[in-house]
């Protein structure tokens, strides 16, 4: 997860919330923080913009806001992608691929830090997309998971939630190993809906705490 490139370092700062959502970024202001000059910083910001982690606010740069409506839309879109991925995976993935997937599901159990759980979950879903055999499905899944990454911090705070995610991932992997597409798709949709529900509950519960840390959640679109 640690990328040495400038783009990777700024990206990590955003995903870890070191750079707060909606925080204004100036190209010259980032020079001392990241030890680079404007040109590569500007290039990194443009790339981050295409990933949805940075936006323009007028002609200024800001870290992309967290947006409840966007989360809802992303989860809806993700259901389409994940359902397609499991269908393809059943018919195409090799036994080795599926066993690696189960391995990834289980690896989340050993180390129980929230951070590890978050990255393990990302790896699981990305591997699922990869073994679907369609690179564009994989790329789009990566994009969606990236946009959801910051909010998913909330879901991995409680050990109970991490355990539930682990069980659901195992259920998906097992259904795939059993070559049961209907069961795999059902387990996947249940996982997504459960995760989204828990996430929204966390947001409601933690809203005040988030605001105390300078993080606000918009409930409507911020665009114009």
Partner DNA sequence: CTCTGCACTGTGGTATACCAATATGGTATC
Partner DNA sequence: GATACCATATTGGTATACCACAGTGCAGAG
Residues engaged in binding DNA (CB under 7 A)? 25-29, 36-40, 42-43, 58-61
Least distance (Å) from DNA to the CB of residue 224?
A: 13
Site for its own copies, residues 109 to 138, rule: CB under 8 A = 134-137
Beta carbons within 8 Å of 197's beta carbon, 6+ residues apart: none
Site for its own copies, residues 62 to 81, rule: CB under 8 A = 73-74, 76-77, 80-81
Q: Is 189 in the site for its own copies (CB under 8 A)?
A: no
Closer Cβ to DNA, 3 or 103, answer by number: 3
Extract the tokens encoding 157: 């705070």
Token pair 């690896």: residue: 107
76 SS3 class? helix
From the list its own copies, DNA, none, partner contacted by residue 58 (C-beta under 5 to 8 A by kind): DNA
Alpha helix stretches (DSSP H) within 51-180 = 68-92, 95-110, 114-131, 135-155, 159-177
Rounded to whole angstroms, the Cα distance separating 96 from 119 reads 22
Least distance (Å) from its own copies to the CB of residue 79?
A: 9
C-alpha pair distances (Å), 125 with each of 21, 73, 133: 25, 18, 13
Q: Which of 23, 106, 123, 140 binds its own copies (CB under 8 A)?
A: 140
Rounded to whole angstroms, the Cα distance separating 96 from 44 reads 37
Closer Cβ to its own copies, 147 or 162, answer by number: 147
Q: Is 182 in the site for its own copies (CB under 8 A)?
A: no
From the list DNA, its own copies, none, partner contacted by residue 107 (C-beta under 5 to 8 A by kind): none
From the list DNA, its own copies, none, partner contacted by residue 36 (C-beta under 5 to 8 A by kind): DNA
Rounded to whole angstroms, the Cα distance separating 99 from 107 reads 12
209 SS3 class? helix
Q: Is 43 in the site for its own copies (CB under 8 A)?
A: yes
Rounded to whole angstroms, the Cα distance separating 122 from 155 reads 13
Closer Cβ to DNA, 36 or 177, answer by number: 36
Which residues would be at the binding site for its own copies (CB under 8 A)?
A: 39, 42-43, 46-47, 50, 73-74, 76-77, 80-81, 84, 134-137, 140, 144
């Amino acid at each position: 997860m640690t990328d040495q490139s400038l783009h990777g370092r700024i990206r990590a700062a955003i995903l870890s919330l070191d750079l707060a959502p909606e925080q204004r970024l100036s190209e010259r202001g980032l020079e001392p923080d990241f030890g680079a000059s404007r040109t590569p910083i500007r290039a990194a910001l443009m790339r981050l913009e295409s990933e949805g982690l940075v936006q323009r606010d007028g002609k200024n740069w800001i870290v992309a806001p967290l947006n409840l409506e966007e989360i809802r839309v992303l989860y809806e879109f993700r259901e389409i992608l994940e359902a397609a991925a499991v269908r393809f995976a059943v018919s195409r993935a090799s036994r080795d691929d599926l066993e690696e997937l189960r391995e990834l599901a289980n690896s989340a159990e050993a180390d129980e830090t929230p951070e590890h759980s978050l990255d393990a979950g990302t790896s699981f879903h990305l591997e699922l997309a990869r073994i679907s055999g369609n690179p564009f499905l994989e790329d789009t899944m990566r994009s969606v998971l990236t946009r959801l990454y910051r909010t998913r911090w909330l879901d991995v705070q409680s050990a109970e939630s991490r355990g539930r995610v682990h069980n659901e991932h195992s259920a998906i992997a097992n259904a795939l190993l059993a070559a049961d597409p209907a069961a795999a798709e059902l387990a996947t949709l249940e996982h997504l809906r459960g995760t989204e529900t828990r996430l929204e509950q966390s947001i409601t519960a933690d809203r005040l705490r988030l605001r105390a840390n300078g993080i606000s959640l918009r409930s409507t679109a911020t665009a114009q």
